[in-house]
Structure formats: C-alpha cells, structure tokens
Amino acid sequence: MKIGISCYPTYGGSGIVATELGKILAEMGHEIHFISYALPYRLSGYYSNIFFHEVKVPEYPLFEYPPYALALATKLADIAIYEKLDLIHGHYAIPHALSGFIAREMIKDQYPLKIITTLHGTDITLVGADPSFMRITQYSINQSDAVTAVSNYLREETIKTFQPTVPIEVIYNFIKEPPPNANVCSTLRRRLAPNGEPILVHLSNFRPVKRVLDTLGILNLVLQEMPAKLVLIGDGPDRPIAEKTGREMGIEKHIAFLGKQEDVYNLLHLGDIFLMPSQSESFGLAALEAMSCGLPCITSNSGGLPELNLDGVTGFTAPVGDVAQMSAAVLKLLRNPDLKARFSRNAREHALQNFHSDSIIPQYIKLYNDVLNR
C-alpha cells in the first residue's frame, strides 16, 4: 500500500506513535509518505520507501495566524494525486482529520482518497472539546472513513462528548521490544547516582497536564525517608517552573534535567521506578516504554492509565495530585526488593504480551484493507 501519514512532528505521543507506525509499515514493504510542517521526531536515518513532504505555510501580512490547516489540505491533495496514495492516516483530530476531509473533497472528481483518523487524547478531551473547535472536530470525525482511539477510555470520552455517527475502533498504542543488549551506560548511572541511590524517572513534554511538579513533590517526600534521585527526560513549558521549584524546595542536587532525548530506552533502563502523575492521560505511551524496560510505574488513575498500569501488579495508581500516596508507593517498592523485582517482571511481560507492535500493527493493516475494500 501507499500510505500518507499526517501528524504533529513534535515531542509528544501522537507524533511518536505515527512515526513508529510509519517506520514499521515501511519495514513491511509499504510505501510511506509523511506530510507535516517539519520532519517528525524519531524519523531519523534513511529509509528507501519513506518520504517526507514539508508543508509550507505562506507568510502574508493579512494573515495574523498562518492558515496551516488549509496549506496541509492542499499538500495532502497534491501528494495523494501525484504519489497515487491509497489512503491518508491522520493522527490527532485537529487539524489532520479536517485537512484530510478537505483534501478528499477537493480531488474527489479526480482521484479517490480514503481518510483514517486516530484520536490520541487531548485532541478530544481538551482541544476538541473547546467551544471554538467542538463542532468542527465532531464534523471531521464523522467525515472520516474510519476512526480509531488509543484506549477504551478515549473511545468512551469521544462518544460522550461528540456523539459520533461513525464507529470508533480501539487500537492501543504499541511498543517494539527494546534490544536485549541495550547499552545501559554505567558511567551515566554513576554520575546521576554516585552513591548507588535509586533513580526515579519521568518522561514527557512538560506540559501542565503532565503535572511535572508532582514528581518533585514525590521526590521530596521520598528524600525524607531515604536517598534518591529524579531524572527528568523531555522539555516543554513547565521545565523552567520545575527547575525553579526544585531550587526553592532545596532538592535541586537530587534532580537531573536531561532535556529532549532520542534514545529514550537506554535512559529508561537506568531507572528503578517510572513516575507519571498526569492530570489526564488517554493511554500513557511513555509509561508503556518504561514498562517494556522493566520499570514498575507509579501513575495517577486518570483516563486510560488503569488500562495500562495494573494497580498492584505492574505498579501502583493513585488519585490525581495525591503526592503522598504516590511517594508511599515508591517507598514500598524501594524497601521491598522482592516486590520491586516481581513488579518489574510483570511490567515487562504485560507490555510485551499486550502492546507489542507484532499484535497491534496487523490491526491497523486490517483496518486499512477494510476501508479500501468497501
């Protein structure tokens, strides 16, 4: 198949899933065309059957806000015709579902084009639910040839908020098994925890919904009981606030900000426990990546996280903002090596048995074929 993938190229779950999906499909022999305003994050290296098409938005004094959705729609239409695409798979409803629909309508007399939309979370719970976008998001969903959501929670939220007229299929996010010889950098481990302290890890785009400051609160309570380090991977609007808060709390020497990193698996392998105290999380891709590396997870119980992190099995869940309960869970694992080892095995087994790309990608391929054969 020839598949166009439209996504945000930034450091976030929807773009990562879209990119990894395209890479795996390319490895299987499909021809993949990424269409976005920048090269997607994690799309590095050369692939003979992966192509990138940059969307250029015209700069004109009349436009206070550049019309990216329209430029994207035009680009999608052009690529569909000239590259003979079978379908376009848009990740994140706004603007990709809308732009895909406009592209399909523009060229329907010249070329048949199918549009598949995958909903990832905040495109429904935050952006799409905003009154400014609610009606257009609902319309875009209903005009898609097929719609998927990354968790049962998100499917139910979409139905509750938008009452869609099209069915929504749940296809979970996925993980490829980390290389068995993943190079855990002992030098970095010694630098981060020179006295063998346990390492807590958090990975996100540092947006307010991720509640990064809660990870500092967890660390602060843990430090009152035993030595520990906190490694924060990623970057975003809340990083300066987190850095300032760490200094104000007097725990900055116990925190390492590593910024955006491409090879997250080696860094996750350095950790002992993964923290995800999010306000809302439709799935929790970073937690899945951590679980595949054998890290027990301490997460909030919001959104789709309970579908991934099984409380008392792969880690512990707690109410949003309950830093005390989360820190108590961390201490329980650190004080009980046998329990931590069992949770580590459970986390890895659960991740690879239920969310491995070998079982998830065929679901997308079946969906593609079903849509094309209608």
- Residue of 90, 73, 82, 74 whose CA lies nearest to 34: 90
The residue count for the chain: 374
Sheet with 114-119, side-by-side order of all strands? 50-54, 31-36, 2-6, 87-91, 114-119, 146-149, 168-170
- Check if 2-174+356-372 and 186-354 are the same fold: yes
DSSP 8-state symbol, 252:
G
pLDDT digits (tens, 9 = 90+) for 85-131: 999 999 988 899 999 999 999 999 999 999 999 999 877 777 666 78
Cis omega (within 30 of 0) for bond into 95: yes
Segments making up each domain of the chain, as ranges? 2-174+356-372, 186-354
**Of the given ranges (24-33, 118-127, 320-329), which has the lowest mean pLDDT?**
118-127
CB 212 within 8 A of CB 242: yes
Which residue is listed with tokens 């706004």?
94
pLDDT at 171: 97
Contact yes or no for 261/231 (Cβ under 8 A): no
Residue 60: per-residue pLDDT: 75
What are the structure tokens assigned to 8, written together? 């945000």
* φ, ψ at 195 (rounded to 5°): -105, 20
Q: Using CA atoms, how far apart are residues 287 and 269, in angstroms rounded to an integer?
A: 13
User: Average of pLDDT values for 49-66?
Assistant: 86
- C-alpha distances in Å from residue 187, one per residue of 184, 194, 201, 257, 370: 9, 10, 17, 17, 50
- Report the candidate in 310, 303, 297, 306 with the shortest Cα–Cα distance to residue 344: 297
pLDDT digits 0-9 by tens, 150-179: 999 999 999 999 999 999 999 999 998 776
Question: Does residue 314 carry a pLDDT above 90?
Answer: yes
Selected from 3.30.1490.20, 3.40.50.2000, 1.10.20.60, 3.40.50.720, the CATH number assigned to the domain covering 186-354 reads 3.40.50.2000
What does the alpha-carbon distance between residue 6 and residue 104 come to, in Å, rounded to a whole number?
Answer: 14
Whether pLDDT at 145 is above 70: yes
Task: Name the amino acid, one letter, at 121.
Answer: G
What's the topology of domain 2-174+356-372?
A: Rossmann fold (3.40.50)
